[in-house]
């Protein structure tokens, strides 16, 4: 029997591109940042006061905004107020003002890994739109690239390839913003951002100061970090990446990607070819955003790959990958498929993707209630079939499984 990654009956908060950040008891409304910073939780039924960000110099506030239009799922009710911040100073000021007034806020970045309840968010949403990339390049040490939290992740990956900064190409096509990536140690096709991050600059909400945390102190493990472990403390402002120079990729370690590229595992390939191959693989699974394809109206993988204590807990025939801490990771997609959940299975207008069982999608007019009913069904089927409790990956805001 597996050890669940979080108690059942709790609302789970996670980074927009990844795994669980924190949990709070069911019956509370979770205010979480899309860059992985959980702001606060308040008892259901309490009124959330809007944060007054007028002194922050933010770009402006709008009222009664439907949050569905800010998420890749296109699901979510209204917010009392939405404020867009375009500089670090505006972001810090907005968070400080809300904290000083004991007012919960929702920090929203790319909206690619969040489920917002049909009732929306009774408070202030701060939309992160900080931009800027600063580069220090050296032929010996490579490129040190400082990226603002609000920079589009895949846009940055594209630039890295164009500039011949190696190491990010296997993580092409991941939706969301750069500030999200260190929180849950985003990764794909054999690589994690922990392998290239040099430091993370944050606003420390306890010490009320800007801090630079070097990679060795970030506590990176599989889909985890110190930012995820202490979610109420840090707001990511900027991420610094140390990237080798050259037009060849990092060694290809993922078997599926190596087969597509027709290279031996451990060999390198031109970064442009790696990006094309990764995007093709992701597109085939509905994991590259496409307005016309409802299979991409999702929050990406809805469940994380379970980490089990021993190989004996892995179901017969299921994939397994030993982890450095002695645990074993298995495939959530395999478990879902072999538990009898078919691609395309739907509850209302929410459906399992026709391309990939890990994605739960909006076929056009799905509600959060329908999506979460579908997620509950999938999780129950896997639990009954294998005794393994799947953990949801997206942040749940004002809703729960």
Q: What angle do CA 310, 220, 401 make, to 5 degrees?
A: 65
> Which percentage of the chain shows pLDDT scores above 70?
84
Residue 7 pLDDT > 90: no
Work out the mean pLDDT of the chain and round it to a whole number. 85
Residue 169 pLDDT > 60: yes
The alpha carbons of the chain give a radius of gyration, in whole angstroms, of 20
> Exposed, middle or buried: residue 343 (CB in 10 Å: 0-12, 13-18, 19+)?
middle
Q: Where are the alpha helices (DSSP H) in 285-367?
A: 332-338
Residue 48 pLDDT > 60: no
pLDDT at residue 77 in the model: 96
Run of H or E including 92: helix 88-100
204-211, Cβ contacts within 8 angstroms, sequence gap of 24 or more: 204/233, 204/234, 205/95, 205/99, 205/232, 205/233, 205/234, 205/235, 206/233, 208/96, 210/92, 210/237
Residues annotated as part of the active site: 223, 301, 393
pLDDT at residue 60 in the model: 59
pLDDT at residue 15 in the model: 35
pLDDT tier at 330, thresholds 50, 70, 90: very high
Residue 234 pLDDT > 60: yes
Mean pLDDT for 377-389 is 98
Residue 37 pLDDT > 60: no
Q: Which residue has the higher pLDDT, 269 or 1?
A: 269
Mean pLDDT for 323-330 is 92
> Which percentage of the chain shows pLDDT scores above 90?
66
pLDDT at residue 81 in the model: 85
CA 7, CA 24: separation in Å to the nearest integer? Answer: 10
Q: Which residue has the higher pLDDT, 14 or 77?
A: 77
pLDDT tier at 20, thresholds 50, 70, 90: very low
Q: Could you tell me the end-to-end alpha-carbon distance of the chain, in angstroms, rounded to an integer?
A: 21
Give tens-digit pLDDT for 261-277.
Answer: 999 999 999 999 999 99
pLDDT tier at 113, thresholds 50, 70, 90: confident
Give tens-digit pLDDT for 284-314.
Answer: 999 888 888 898 999 989 999 999 999 999 9
pLDDT at residue 224 in the model: 82
Residue 55 pLDDT > 50: no
pLDDT tier at 61, thresholds 50, 70, 90: low
Residue 253 pLDDT > 60: yes
Residue 50 pLDDT > 50: no
Q: What angle do CA 109, 110, 114 make, to 5 degrees?
A: 90
pLDDT at residue 35 in the model: 39
The model's pTM is 0.80
pLDDT at residue 231 in the model: 78
Nearest to 277 by CA among 260, 254, 263, 256: 260
| Tokens found for residue 16 | 């927009």
């Amino acid at each position: 029997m597996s050890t669940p990654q979080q108690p059942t009956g709790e609302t789970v908060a996670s980074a927009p591109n990844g795994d669980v950040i924190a949990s709070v008891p069911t019956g509370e409304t979770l205010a979480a940042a899309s860059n992985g910073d959980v702001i606060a939780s308040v008892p259901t039924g309490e009124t959330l006061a809007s944060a007054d960000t007028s002194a922050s110099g933010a770009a402006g506030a709008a009222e009664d905004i439907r949050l569905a239009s800010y998420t890749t799922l296109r699901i979510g009710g209204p917010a009392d107020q939405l404020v867009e911040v375009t500089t670090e100073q505006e972001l810090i000021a907005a968070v400080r003002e809300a904290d000083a007034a004991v007012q919960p806020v929702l920090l929203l970045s790319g909206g690619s890994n969040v489920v917002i309840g049909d009732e929306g968010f009774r408070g202030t949403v701060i939309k992160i739109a900080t931009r800027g990339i600063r580069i220090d390049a050296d032929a010996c040490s490579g490129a040190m690239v400082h990226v603002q939290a609000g920079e589009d992740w895949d846009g940055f990956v594209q630039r890295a390839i164009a500039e011949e900064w190696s190491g990010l190409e296997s993580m092409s096509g991941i939706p969301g913003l750069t500030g999200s990536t260190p929180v849950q140690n985003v990764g794909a096709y054999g690589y994690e951002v922990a392998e290239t991050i040099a430091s993370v600059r944050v606003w420390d909400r306890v010490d009320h100061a800007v801090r630079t945390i070097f990679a060795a102190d970030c506590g990176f493990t599989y889909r985890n970090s110190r930012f995820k472990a202490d979610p109420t403390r840090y707001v990511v402002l900027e991420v610094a990446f140390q990237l080798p120079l050259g037009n060849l990729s990092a060694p290809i370690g993922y078997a599926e990607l190596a087969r597509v590229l027709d290279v031996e595992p451990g060999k390198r390939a031109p970064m442009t070819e790696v990006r094309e191959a990764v995007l093709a693989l992701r597109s085939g699974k509905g994991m590259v955003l496409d307005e016309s394809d409802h299979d991409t109206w999702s929050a990406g993988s809805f469940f994380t790959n379970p980490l089990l204590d021993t190989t004996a807990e892995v179901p017969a025939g299921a994939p397994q990958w030993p982890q450095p801490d002695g645990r074993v990771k298995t495939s959530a997609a395999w478990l879902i498929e072999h538990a009898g959940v078919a691609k395309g299975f739907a509850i209302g207008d929410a459906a399992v993707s026709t391309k990939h069982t890990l994605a739960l999608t909006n076929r056009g007019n799905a509600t959060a209630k329908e999506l979460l009913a579908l997620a509950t069904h999938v999780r129950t089927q896997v639990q009954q079939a294998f005794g393994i409790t799947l953990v949801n990956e997206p942040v749940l805001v004002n809703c729960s499984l």
